[in-house]
Structure 1
Amino acid sequence: MKRRLLLRVAPYNRFTWPLLLNILEINGLDDAFDIRFVDGPVAMIIDDHLADARRDDIMLFSFMTPHLAHVAGDIAAVRGRVITAAGGIHTSAWPDHTRSLGFDIVFTGPAERSFAEFARDITEQNTYRDRYDGSDNDPFDDAIPLTRHIRFFPPLEIIRGCRWHCRYCATGRHPRYRSFASVERYLEKLREIVPHRVGFIAPSALDYGIHENDPDALARVLSHARSRFRFVEFGVFPSELRPESVTHESLSMIKRYATNRRLVIGCQSASNKRLSAIARGHTADDVIRAAATANECGFRALFDIIVAYPDETPDERSENILFIRDVTKRYNARFHLHHFFPLAGSDYEFRFPSFMSDAERNAFLSLAQNGTATPWWHEDEKNARAYFSYIVKNYPDLYARYH
């Protein structure tokens, strides 16, 4: 009987599993496992998948800091029934803390080499280490997010990491860029399966090619994609744009090859003081210019803003609200509002949010009523409060590090 490999599926990690399974496939290791995708409440998972599980079956988790309390509940329920393993940005930043949750194995960094090592250890030697570390020097081009085990086709990661180092962000700080040959191979394989739509992952989307000082690299990727797919998405999640990169030239290139007519652009704050504090590298005026340029090129701009940063003042919040109203009115833009969350591995990993007053919360909620901004921040705020409630109760020494 094959050892079960149970992948704990959640909305926040759905892009992870096809790539991991492809790593197994290209190393000839996937047939050694009974691969199962498990989702839903943990009690249901126990009934459906763990009632007859063996102790040497494996359950994999991938998560970020906002999901910690939920994942901890899952681990408490399944611990001892199967081998549990964790990866993802939170685990990479805080591997020892992740182990303390009850995980048997932690994976840090990229998984292209380390996950294959783990699979060989457990299938060939029936053993495993408690920690597997990836490296930025590990192969990036070989694995692609396509697998025969599930009909789900995530966008292709063409940039991993980001060179901008914004203080609230936990994205890796040593960017790597997928080669054109690897992109081409992915596009050809995807076309054989789903010949109508393709997208890309790039934290700062227009940076592709900067590593080779090749301004035409991105155009080659998008042109190749457009010649093979009816719909090509670029400049929207998960390939957002920075405002200062939005020019008539760059948008003309996107419009020529991509089929989306909306762009997601990182604003993050209307306050130049806050933009400087979080090391964004642009100004509020850059955001306004991006909105105008998007309109002139036939796009609608959707801007991300984060509220409740550490040390954020009431004046900054008022500035954000006025800015949102002005830009949406003048440029038919829309804003996606998020709430600050201290992510493990970021410069702000031990900073408290500046939680808003009831009046401030109502003011931001009112923006959603007329469609100028999303209320996503509201759920983010709940997650932040739940996280701190969990940490202060279960890890008081860790909680004491926040300020």
Structure 2
Amino acid sequence: MIGYRLTSKNKYSISKLYPLTKGILFNNLDELIYNLKTNEIEKSKSCCFKVINSKNIIIYSFMTLQRPEVSKEINILRNNFKDLILIAGGPHASGAPEDTLKMGFDYVLVGEGEITLPDLINKINNNQYIENNVIKGIPIDSFKGYDEIYPLAPIEITRGCPYNCRFCQTPQIFGKNIRHRSIEDIIKIVKNMKDIRFVTPNALSYGSKYATKPNLEKLEELLKKLSIFKERLFLGTFPSEVRPEFINEDTLNLIVNYCDNKYLHFGAQSGCDEMLTHIRRGHTVNDVINAVDLCKKNKLMPKVDFIFGFPSETMENRIRSIQLMKYIIKKNGKVHAHYFMPLPGTYFENEKSTELDRETIKILGSMAKKGQISGSWTHQYNSTKVEK
């Protein structure tokens, strides 16, 4: 049996891999345990002379924030099913493979899994020798041949990121090599969708060779062709956010003309140019202000992300972020604030979050009570170093 532990947090990654191996999707641990016990009973009833595939392979994909919950589930499975084979992938496994093995997994896939996961499962089922427990995933050259998505989820249209944000796992997992799904392949998938949404590091980079500036011609071709099939089409809304410096009159004109957006989602991360340079964000505060003003002009609500508690962050840095947040709110924008968490595999993985001062927490709390901001910034996460 091949099984996938499906959650609301890993649906997008599982939906790309499940069609390649098939199997059973488990929405909770109880379902998984019941199926494993039933499978063991069926095996015990089978004739001892009959050749059967007795291997139970369960696949997890999870982020670092889900590690405690996943660890509890793995302990339960290990204590009840001794012959179970557990495979892990996703952001945490890719950033901290040795730590993931210590959680109780048999194999860890680092990076992309479309090619490597089916090959690994085939080797396990055929009792072939597997040299390492940590396996580097082979990147796909293009999306061609990976058109099936199940469970139905937003379409991944771009993979890879050329930027080096020190807090982000995306370029560490998928690399800097930019790959776009062809418009023809996207059309094949969207014919069965009512609302068309995308997964991409930067929606406005679609079609751009290096993803460092918009390719207006390719963007318009994509949106124009998709507008024929869609009931509703969204670009630059979760989970396909954009970068602020990509927001200009031309890109917004495409969104206004072809999409059903009410808002545009992008990350500022800080309101201080010094901090933006420190985290290698690749844009300036003025880029954010310009993006907010253009959204307002084009009747799109700007939804902007901020992170507090970066390593080496000062109170002055935070004051500037709050000033920018207040500017966004005056423009009828929305702000979502996060507390920094050092993620494995990133440049900041061994750094500690900077504890927020009481005044900052008080100001953010007051803004939240007024409904001006949302998010979580009081979680004081202290990094525990994990083995890579």
Give, in angstroms, the shift of residue 371 of structure 1. 1.8
Q: Deviations over 1:145-198 (max 9, x none)?
A: 523xxxx32111111121111111111232332242xx423433441x33x211
In structure 2, the gaps of 5 or more residues are 41-53
Where in structure 2 are the equivalents of 1:136-215 lying within 5 Å? 136=139, 138-147=141-150, 152-172=151-171, 173-180=175-182, 183-191=183-191, 193-194=192-193, 196-211=194-209, 214-215=215-216
The structure 2 residue matched to 1:8, chosen from 5, 12, 33, is 5
Q: Deviations over 1:50-97 (max 9, x none)?
A: 334547211111112222222222211112622111001221222222
1:220 has 2:221 as partner? yes
Give, in angstroms, the shift of residue 45 of structure 1. 4.5
1:288–1:143 Cα change, 3 Å: same
Alpha-carbon separation, structure 2, partners of 1:186 and 1:369: 42
Partner of 1:297: 298
Contact 1:121/1:127 (CA < 8 Å) preserved in 2? Answer: yes
Structure with greater helix share of residues: 1
Q: Deviations over 1:319-365 (max 9, x none)?
A: 22222122211x11111111111111111111111122344323212
1:190–1:293 Cα change, 3 Å: closer
Partner of 1:104: 106
Give, in angstroms, the shift of residue 243 of structure 1. 1.1
Give, in angstroms, the shift of residue 48 of structure 1. 2.9
CA RMSD of aligned residues (A): 2.3
Give, in angstroms, the shift of residue 241 of structure 1. 1.3
Give, in angstroms, the shift of residue 309 of structure 1. 0.7
1:36 has 2:24 as partner? yes
Alpha-carbon separation, structure 1, partners of 2:189 and 2:157: 16
Alpha-carbon separation, structure 2, partners of 1:344 and 1:84: 21
Alpha-carbon separation, structure 2, partners of 1:9 and 1:374: 27
Alpha-carbon separation, structure 2, partners of 1:256 and 1:96: 49
Alpha-carbon separation, structure 2, partners of 1:326 and 1:239: 24
Alpha-carbon separation, structure 2, partners of 1:177 and 1:233: 20
Q: Deviations over 1:211-260 (max 9, x none)?
A: 17954112211212111111111011121111111101110011112111
Partner of 2:329: 328
Partner of 1:395: none
User: Residue 119 of structure 1: SS of its match in structure 2?
Assistant: helix
Alpha-carbon separation, structure 2, partners of 1:307 and 1:50: 44
TM-score (norm 1): 0.84
The one-letter code sitting in structure 1 at the alignment partner of 2:74 is I
Q: Deviations over 1:253-273 (max 9, x none)?
A: 111121112000111101111
User: Residue 312 of structure 1: SS of its match in structure 2?
Assistant: coil
The one-letter code sitting in structure 1 at the alignment partner of 2:205 is D
Partner of 2:35: 49
1:46–1:253 Cα change, 3 Å: closer
Partner of 2:85: 83
Give, in angstroms, the shift of residue 136 of structure 1. 3.0
In structure 1, the gaps of 5 or more residues are 25-29, 392-397
Contact 1:110/1:138 (CA < 8 Å) preserved in 2? Answer: no
What fraction of aligned residue pairs are identical, expressed as a percent?
26
Contact 2:166/2:279 (CA < 8 Å) preserved in 1? Answer: yes
Alpha-carbon separation, structure 1, partners of 2:181 and 2:361: 45
Alpha-carbon separation, structure 1, partners of 2:232 and 2:162: 29
Contact 2:4/2:59 (CA < 8 Å) preserved in 1? Answer: yes
User: Residue 241 of structure 1: SS of its match in structure 2?
Assistant: coil
Alpha-carbon separation, structure 2, partners of 1:10 and 1:102: 19
The one-letter code sitting in structure 2 at the alignment partner of 1:370 is K
1:248–1:139 Cα change, 3 Å: closer
Moved over 6 A (4+): none
TM-score (norm 2): 0.87
